Chains A and B, each alone.
Chain A
């Protein structure tokens, strides 16, 4: 009778079998990740092997180099792999660094505000707002950037003498470092806010109360005790945001300017108006070249660098969050 009522509890779904099946699935996932890492690096190898460490260095015009690589793939004669990616790497560093610094500042204040100082109605508004900003697709941010921010910078912020001063080298049209940094900030700040608020909420109330009881005001208590003991969460949030920013491709392909140019801070303040192109958008823009052999290797070498740095940053964030548990949070 029991078997009739509950056929799925029979030997077919015994615990041992279920455990084995789920375990196999999990092993499959781990295997998939390993396969991905191996595949990307194997595909990228010709480019790295040919260039060595010069891959990461400066030298020559990176757009010309990409063109030659792609042309040699079509011609089918001798493949060219020469590729010096420094302008792309430099652009990635500038855009990611700028956006992460600004959003670290903003996100810290907003998170403290949500957790500690905002009246209830305000934090009830802010939390969904942060969640909404985090869930807007990157292509919408890109579209708004292209149609609003870029013309604004190009037509109003950059003056004619400034445009003329670099006319022979690069044209300042509004597709710029500034636009990219601002839009990227909007994309990653909400992510940071949500991790920071989690961290701040899990600070032991007794620690804060101890400080308050000593007569320290709420503002200083929050910063000296709350923010300090939530440090692992802050590190984790920042590092995850860096990983997200490095991998952002489509939005930056739309507004960073798509020129393999390294903005030079020595040019003075004008360098924030200069266009550039980070690593990830380079893949998006040249995706048609995937079919040619040297093009494929070059694009995969960029992907390998992205994969390595993103994995590095997100694992750092993971370790930081694990250490957070040691502080006795929740």
Chain B
């Protein structure tokens, strides 16, 4: 939209007559408005600029603090006990833990989410089940993650699932990367479903009909034509979900354990000893290292928060790039 809206005071060269903007195509300026309307517009500008200022302040402040306190060695040394901030090591375990949780969570959420969306858009029978599923996804999106976490403790400390975490003398610990990732996948699920549905709905009907007409089954059409076409939206959903997973703290706090190091389970083969054990992530580290946490090392908290923010910024940029590329390719001409 070509807009010539300005904040009051009005520039002098503007004609003060109604229907301001002598050039064709220009939008009506605010020069002719009543004072109350102009005050409203000023509030709009003020709040808009405030939002920008807040975002810039957060990024700049964390960059400054991050560059001041982050040492490359922190990313490779695990946390250690100590009295001063120089003795306590870094947060390599937290960093790797975040990557592990993100990979595992999205590995569960992506197939389930895409399959749910495919069912909703392409099949969706009986209609009652489709409606129930839709509200289930909405409800999962609305459930506080702390409640999901508590539910996770019930599931994963049942003896049937003891092989997913540590157990001593029949009492199942219930805290492990498996447990945390499984519950975190529920946090990412609604975003993936919503985004994939949007992608599938955007494909016009005749594309499907053309595929059926050459004798392809519905399953083959979905796999060979619909899902590849909806790939940008699926990727967007996955990245949004990833952002939620790495940003979540409550589930990690409850289901991954109150420790700052990996605590592998002895006797299990290689990847599983870590995955069954407790651990930590960057969000958990920031929480514990903040003045209200148990470690109270604000400098390290800033450094870890900086790394976390970088991850979020990269994900945001990736979403933007995917969006832009998808738009460049163009949509279906229906």
Task: Give the distance to chain B from A36, nearest Cβ to Cβ, in Å.
Answer: 5
Instruction: Verify B51–A311 contact, CB threshold 8 A.
Output: no
Identify the stretch in B54-62, B266-274, B325-333 within 8 Å (CB) of chain A at 4 or more residues: B54-62
Instruction: Verify A219–B41 contact, CB threshold 8 A.
Output: yes
Interface size on B, residues (CB 8 A): 90
Give the CA-CA distance A255 to B305 in the complex, in Å. Answer: 17
Closest to B62 in A: A140
- Picked from B61, B223, B283, the residue with its CB within 8 Å of the CB of A8 is B223
Interface size on A, residues (CB 8 A): 89
Instruction: Verify A133–B51 contact, CB threshold 8 A.
Output: yes
Proximity string of chain B (1-34) to chain A, C-beta cutoff 8 Å, 1 when within and 0 when not? 1110100000000000000000000011010110
Q: Answer yes or no: A101 CB below 8 A from chain B CBs.
A: no
Give the CA-CA distance A30 to B112 in the complex, in Å. Answer: 13
User: Given A117-B41, A135-B312, A240-B142 in contact, is the A125-B52 Cβ separation under 8 Å?
Assistant: yes
User: Inside 8 A of B216's CB, which chain A residues have their CB?
Assistant: 9
Instruction: Verify B287–A247 contact, CB threshold 8 A.
Output: no
Q: Which of A142, A186, A240 counts the most chain B CB atoms within 10 A?
A: A142
Instruction: Verify B142–A15 contact, CB threshold 8 A.
Output: no
Give the CA-CA distance A36 to B182 in the complex, in Å. Answer: 14
Instruction: Verify A120–B33 contact, CB threshold 8 A.
Output: no
Task: Give the distance to chain B from A197, nearest Cβ to Cβ, in Å.
Answer: 12
Instruction: Verify B249–A138 contact, CB threshold 8 A.
Output: yes
Q: Answer yes or no: A23 CB below 8 A from chain B CBs.
A: yes
Q: Which of A148, A247, A258 counts the most chain B CB atoms within 10 A?
A: A247
Instruction: Verify B144–A118 contact, CB threshold 8 A.
Output: no
Identify the stretch in A63-71, A162-170, A260-268, A279-287 within 8 Å (CB) of chain B at 4 or more residues: A279-287
Proximity string of chain B (43-70) to chain A, C-beta cutoff 8 Å, 1 when within and 0 when not? 1110110111011001001100000000
Instruction: Verify B3–A303 contact, CB threshold 8 A.
Output: no
Task: Give the distance to chain B from A297, nearest Cβ to Cβ, in Å.
Answer: 12
Instruction: Verify B61–A144 contact, CB threshold 8 A.
Output: yes
Instruction: Verify A36–B151 contact, CB threshold 8 A.
Output: yes
- Picked from A9, A36, A138, A220, the residue with its CB within 8 Å of the CB of B220 is A9
- Picked from B32, B287, B319, the residue with its CB within 8 Å of the CB of A250 is B287
CB contact list, A73-122 vs B, under 8 A: 106, 109-110, 112-114, 117-120, 122
Give the CA-CA distance A6 to B298 in the complex, in Å. Answer: 59
Instruction: Verify A110–B44 contact, CB threshold 8 A.
Output: yes
Q: Answer yes or no: A233 CB below 8 A from chain B CBs.
A: no
Instruction: Verify B133–A307 contact, CB threshold 8 A.
Output: no
Closest to B120 in A: A26
Instruction: Given contact pairs A106-B50, A137-B249, A243-B142, enumerate 16 new A-B contacts (beta carbons under 8 Å).
Output: A36-B148, A36-B151, A39-B151, A113-B45, A118-B3, A120-B2, A133-B54, A137-B312, A143-B301, A143-B302, A146-B290, A283-B150, A290-B153, A310-B144, A311-B143, A317-B138
Contacts from A to B (Cβ < 8 Å): 6, 8-9, 13-15, 18-19, 22-23, 25-27, 29-30, 33, 36, 39-40, 43, 106, 109-110, 112-114, 117-120, 122, 125-126, 128-133, 135-140, 142-144, 146-148, 186, 189-190, 212, 217-220, 223, 240, 243, 246-250, 253-255, 258, 280, 283-284, 287-288, 290, 299-300, 303, 306-307, 310-311, 313-315, 317-318
Contacts from B to A (Cβ < 8 Å): 1-3, 5, 27-28, 30, 32-33, 37, 40-41, 43-45, 47-48, 50-52, 54-55, 58, 61-62, 112, 115-116, 118-120, 123, 125, 129, 132-148, 150-151, 153-154, 216-220, 222-223, 240, 243, 246-250, 253-254, 258, 283, 286-287, 290-292, 298, 301-302, 305, 308-309, 312-313, 315-316, 319-320
